[in-house]
Amino acid sequence: MVSSLCVTLAAFLPATALTSAAQASEPAQLLPAREQMAFTLGFHIILVPFGVAFTFITMIANYRAIRRGDEEALLLAKRWSKVAAILFAVGAVSGTVLSFEMGLLWPELMKRYGAAYGIPFAVEGIFFFLEAIFVAIYIYGWDRLSPWLHFWSGLPVVLGGVGGTLSVVAANSWMNTPSGITVRNGQVVDVSVWRVFFNHAFWYESIHMLLAAYVVAGFAVAGVYAVGILRGRRDRYHRIGLLIPLVVASVAIPLQIVMGDVITREVFHAEPAKFAAIEILPHTGDHIPEVLGGVLIHGKVRYGIQIPDGASLLSGFSPSTRINGLESIPASVRPTDRLVSIVHLCFDVMVGAGFLLLGLALWFAIAWWRRRDVIDNRWLLRATSISGVVAIVSLECGWVVTEVGRQPWTVVGRLLTRDAVQTSGNLWPFFAGAIAIYAAMSVGAVLALRSLRRRWAAGEDPPGPYAPEVESEPAVPA
C-alpha cells in the first residue's frame, strides 16, 4: 500500500463548531460527513507506514540474506513480503473508498479547486500503479528470479511508496498553504503545477511524514518479535526480526524529533492560527509560556503547567518573541475552546510519545553498545513490545494537530469546511456502509495474517499470500 488519502484529508476530523451562531447555520450533513472522514482516515493512516517503510525493512532483510548468506534473514524477508502484500491489498481498498468519499462528501472542494487539488493525486496514481506492479513481481519472484534481480525488483516498491506519500502530502500541504492558482469570479482560471505541488508546507510536511512512517513501522514490527522473545522464542530468527526494524526506528526517531522542532517554527511563521491553537494562546503577546496539558475554558487556560517564556523561546529563540493569539483571528472563523483544547492536547500527546520513543531508542543503543545483545533485557523487551502502539498514537495525534488545527478551513483562507460539504440527501447510511466495509476488510486481513502465522508455526511457507499450493513431486525410489 503506497498511497493513501489518509494523510490528506484529516482536516475533517472532529465535528467542532466555530461559534454558537455558526453552529446553528451549519449544514445538516456536516456532522455525518466529518464523522465518516474521521473514521475512515483514522483507520487508513495506520496502513501508511507499512506501505512506505515496512517494504524498506523487508529489503534490508533481503539484502542481508544475499550478502551474508543469512537463511534466517531470507526467511524473514519472504514472510514480511507476504504480510506487506496483504496490507497493500487492504490499503488499496480503503484508499479507493476514500477517493469516492472526496466527491460524495465534499463536492464543493472538488468543484472549486479540483483543477489544482487533483494534480498531486494524478501523480500519486502513477506511483500507486508502479508500486502495485512491482509488488506482484517481488512477491511471485521468490525462487523464480536470480537473487539480485529479485532484490532490485523490490526497489521500485520502496520508491513507489515514497513517491505516492509525497504526492498525497503535497495535496494536504496545499490545503494548509494554498498557492499556484489564479481565481476569477470564484473559478480557478490558471494553475501553476510546480507551485501547487511544491507549496510552502510541502517540504517540512513530507519529511515529517516519511520519518513518521519509519518510526511507526520500525517499532511496530520490532514489538511483534519482542513479544515472541518474551514468550520464550529466543532463536536467531526472532533476534534478527527484532534488531532490523528496531535499528531502523532508532535511527529515525531522533531525526523526527529534530524535524518536529523545525516544523513548529515553520507553523509559527506560515500558519499563525494553528500555532495559537497548539500553544493554547488566547491573547497576543511576548514572553509566552509553554503550557503542558490544560484546556481552554471560556477563553482562559485551565489546569495546565506553565514553563515561563517557553513558547517564545521555542518560536524565535528569544523570550521577547511575539506570538499572535486566538484573539487575532476574526470572530466569524475563530475556533471554539473545545477545538483548541483538542489540538493542544493532541500536540502534547504527540510530543510526549515521541520523547518516550526517543528514550527507548537511546536505551536500546546503550544496551547494544554495552553487551551487543538485548534479548536478556526483559524490561527493554517489554518497552519495545508496546512501542508500536505508542508510535501509532503519536502518528494519529500528529495528524489531528496538522489538520484539525486548520479548522474551520478546508482550504485555508479560501474555502470553509461547512461550505465544502454535501448539502443534499442523507449521509448517515453511507457512514454505516463505510463502517461495514472497513469491518469486513479488518476481519479478512486478520484471518489472512492468522492463517499465515499458523502455517509458519507449523513450518510451512506457502509461495505467497494468494498463490495456489505447489504440489510436491512424488519421491523417486532409490
pLDDT score of 462 = 58
pLDDT score of 279 = 92
Domain definitions of the chain by residue range: 10-19+30-279+329-421
pLDDT score of 217 = 95
277 has pLDDT over 90:
yes
pLDDT score of 198 = 92
Beta-carbon count within 10 A of 338 CB: 14
pLDDT in tens, 465-475: 444 444 444 43
89 has pLDDT over 90:
no
Q: What is the dihedral of CA 437, 439, 445, 449, to 10 degrees?
A: -170
Residue type, 172: N
3-state helix, strand, coil in the chain (%, to 5): 70, 5, 25
pLDDT in tens, 125-174: 889 888 889 998 998 888 888 899 999 999 999 999 899 889 989 988 99
DSSP codes, 318-353 = STT--B--GGGS-GGGPPPHHHHHHHHHHHHHHHHH
Q: What percent of the chain has pLDDT over 90?
A: 42
Nearest by Cα to 75 from 456, 375, 470:
456
pLDDT in tens, 288-327: 999 999 899 988 889 989 999 989 988 888 898 999 999 9
Nearest by Cα to 278 from 334, 339, 200, 329:
339
369 has pLDDT over 80:
yes
476 has pLDDT over 60:
no
5 has pLDDT over 90:
no
If residue 187 lies in a helix (H) or strand (E), which one and from where to where?
strand 187-191
Least confident range from 12-21, 215-224, 276-285, 407-416: namely 12-21
Cell numbers at residue 281, please? 494562546
* Whether 131 contacts 43, CB under 8 Å: no
Distance CA 78, CA 462 (A): 10
Give mean pLDDT, residues 388-397: 95
Model confidence, pTM: 0.88
pLDDT score of 377 = 86
Q: What is the residue-averaged pLDDT of the chain?
A: 86
Give mean pLDDT, residues 348-361: 96
Using pLDDT thresholds of 50, 70 and 90, give the confidence band for residue 384: very high
Distance CA 110, CA 171 (A): 12
pLDDT score of 361 = 96
Triad 197, 402, 50: Cα angle to 5°: 75
* Whether 384 contacts 361, CB under 8 Å: no
Give mean pLDDT, residues 185-208: 88
pLDDT score of 472 = 40
* Whether 431 contacts 39, CB under 8 Å: yes
198 by Cβ neighbours in 10 Å (0-12 / 13-18 / 19+) ranks as middle
Which of 329 and 3 is assigned the larger pLDDT?
329
Nearest by Cα to 58 from 163, 206, 214, 208:
214
Least confident range from 100-104, 280-284, 309-313: namely 100-104
